[in-house]
C-alpha cells in the first residue's frame, strides 16, 4: 500500500481563526461567575465544582484515548481496548469485515487530564490499492478534565454507510488521528478493513 503521509492527515484551517488565550480550569471556573450564558458554556465543557480525577504527574498527555469501537444496529460492537498491549498494531494486521451497504458509526471513549482540551478533531484517510477513496474530518468538541462525577467521555461519530457492489468489495487501508486546535496529536494509528458481501 502507498503509505498515508502526515500532509494527507492534516486538519483543515479556517482563515482568520486564532486559538484563544489558554486558561486553566480554575481560571475558567472563576471567569464571570454571574454571566448566565458563560456559565452554560462552562457547564457544556464539563467545568464544574466536582473534583478532578487524580492524574499521574509523570503522564503529560492531555487526552488519553481508552477505546475505539464500530457500532452497527443489531450487532455487538467491535471494540478495541487501547490499554491492551499490541492493540494498535493488531488494527492493521488483523482487518475486520464490514458488510457492504451497512450503516455504522465509530465511537471513542477518552479521558482529559491536566487542562481544558480545545477543539478535539478526528481525521481519517482511507485508501484502496494505493488510491485515496475518502478523507474525513469530524469535530468532536472541547472538554474539561474528567471529574469524579464524569470519569470518562464517550463520543459517537456521525453515521456512515459502507460502499456496496462488486467493485466496492475488497481490502482497504486507513490512517486516523486525533488532534486538537493547537495541532497537538493525541493518537495516530493505521488500520485496515474489508468490505464483504456479509459480516464475518
Mean pLDDT by 10 residues, the chain (200 residues): 62 63 64 67 65 86 95 92 91 89 96 91 94 94 89 94 93 95 92 91
- pLDDT, position 187: 95
Structure-block grid coordinates of residue 74: 443489531
C-alpha cell at 102: 451497512
Q: Phi and psi for 42 in degrees, rounded to 5?
A: -65, -40
Contact by Cβ (8 Å): 143, 120: yes
pLDDT of residue 61: 94
The model's pLDDT over 27-80, given as tens digits with 9 standing for 90+, comes to 666 666 667 776 666 666 666 667 778 888 899 999 999 999 999 999 999 999
Question: pTM for this one?
Answer: 0.79
The H-assigned helical ranges of 46-179 are: 87-93
CB under 8 Å, gap of 24 or more: what pairs does 26-35 form?
A: 28/116, 28/144
Q: What is the pLDDT of residue 2?
A: 45
Which stretch of DSSP H or E encloses residue 37? Answer: helix 36-45
pLDDT of residue 1: 42
pLDDT at 148: 86
Amino acid at each position: 500500500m502507498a503509505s498515508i503521509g502526515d500532509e494527507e492527515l492534516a486538519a483543515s484551517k479556517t482563515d482568520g481563526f486564532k486559538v484563544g488565550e489558554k486558561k486553566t480550569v480554575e481560571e475558567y471556573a472563576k471567569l464571570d461567575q454571574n454571566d448566565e450564558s458563560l456559565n452554560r458554556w462552562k457547564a457544556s465543557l464539563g467545568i464544574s465544582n466536582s473534583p478532578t480525577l487524580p492524574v499521574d504527574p509523570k503522564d503529560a498527555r492531555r487526552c488519553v484515548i481508552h477505546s475505539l469501537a464500530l457500532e452497527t444496529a443489531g450487532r455487538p460492537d467491535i471494540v478495541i481496548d487501547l490499554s491492551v498491549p499490541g492493540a494498535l498494531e493488531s488494527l492493521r494486521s488483523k482487518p475486520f469485515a464490514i458488510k457492504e451497504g451497512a450503516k455504522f458509526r465509530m465511537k471513542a471513549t477518552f479521558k482529559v487530564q491536566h487542562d481544558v482540551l480545545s477543539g478535539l478533531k478526528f481525521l481519517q484517510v482511507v485508501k484502496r490499492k494505493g488510491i485515496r477513496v475518502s478523507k474525513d474530518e469530524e469535530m468532536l468538541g472541547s472538554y474539561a478534565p474528567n471529574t469524579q462525577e464524569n470519569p470518562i467521555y464517550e463520543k459517537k461519530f456521525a453515521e456512515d454507510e459502507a460502499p456496496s457492489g462488486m467493485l466496492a468489495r475488497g481490502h482497504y487501508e486507513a490512517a486516523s488521528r486525533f488532534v486538537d486546535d493547537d495541532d497537538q496529536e493525541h493518537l495516530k494509528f493505521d488500520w485496515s478493513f474489508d468490505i464483504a458481501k456479509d459480516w464475518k
